[in-house]
Amino acid sequence: MIFLKTAEEIERLRESNLLVSKTLAEVAKHIKPGVTTEQLDRVAEEFIRDHKGIPGFKGYHGFPKTLCTSLNSQVVHGIPSSKVILREGDIISVDCGVILDGFYGDSAFSFEVGEISEETRKLLQVTRESLFKGIEQAVDGKRTGDIGYAVQNHAEKNGFSVVREMVGHGLGRNMHEEPEVPNYGRRGTGVRLSKGMVICIEPMINMGRKQIQQEPDGWTIRTADNKPSAHFELAIAIDKGKADILSTFSFIEEVLN
């Protein structure tokens, strides 16, 4: 069942997604060698609650924390811990969800920790570009396969691989709504996009092979070959002619620059 949102509901979703975007920017201020992922999680939870939000991930299907913090070869769903310390040359995907006035916000950004290798920097750049290639296709009348094809084509053209099992999703009063939004596919296939749909597009792109595996904690997903993976996510309201992007990386960029 796909829920089409009213103009008012889209504005409420914009507010929740802006809070997520600002939370990630607050976290960005603390990303440096020597910091634990537990410290990042505390920063995020405090910021969300100070702004009248509720952490959207905490307790979701039993997930124990506010953020998903996934380092290097971890793809998604890494659990923050006082034992996980950021080191020079790491990359970390920080995924965050909030609930504000009954609506979810959801966004993710992969950060550099200190100086990283050129190859890893290219992975981050191409993953981010592939997200925006997908967003270009997120308009009324297109299909989810058009988004997936755009993401996959850009990633693979640059020598990287696309995770198949983890996908984007609809967003609204629930964190995960229909439709699923894969990061691979054929043009002209999949669910037809209509004005009023709100979706999250979130490429998970690997430096090596596309295969993944789950760690013993039951949450963390990592690459099977232990090579790095990157992850970026934005929430989009489907509109005619051009996608309406509800979350933003601009607050993060202000901090990083």
C-alpha closest to that of 93 among 210, 248, 206:
206
Q: What is the pLDDT along the chain (257 residues), one digit of tens a residue?
A: 999 999 999 999 999 999 999 999 999 999 999 999 999 999 999 999 999 999 999 999 999 999 999 999 999 999 999 999 999 999 999 999 999 999 999 999 999 999 999 999 999 999 999 999 999 999 999 999 999 999 999 999 999 999 999 999 999 999 999 999 999 999 999 999 999 999 999 999 999 999 999 999 999 999 999 999 999 999 999 999 999 999 999 999 999 99
pLDDT value of position 92? 98
Q: In the chain, what is the straight-line distance between the N-terminal and C-terminal CA atoms, in Å? A: 42
Q: Which of 253, 134, 246, 239 is nearest to 190 (CA)?
A: 134
- Per-domain residue ranges of the chain: 7-256
For position 146, what pLDDT does the model report?
98
7-256: CATH superfamily: Creatinase/methionine aminopeptidase superfamily (3.90.230.10)
The pTM for the full model equals 0.97
169: exposed, middle or buried (C-beta count within 10 Å: 0-12, 13-18, 19+)? buried
3-state secondary structure of 210: coil
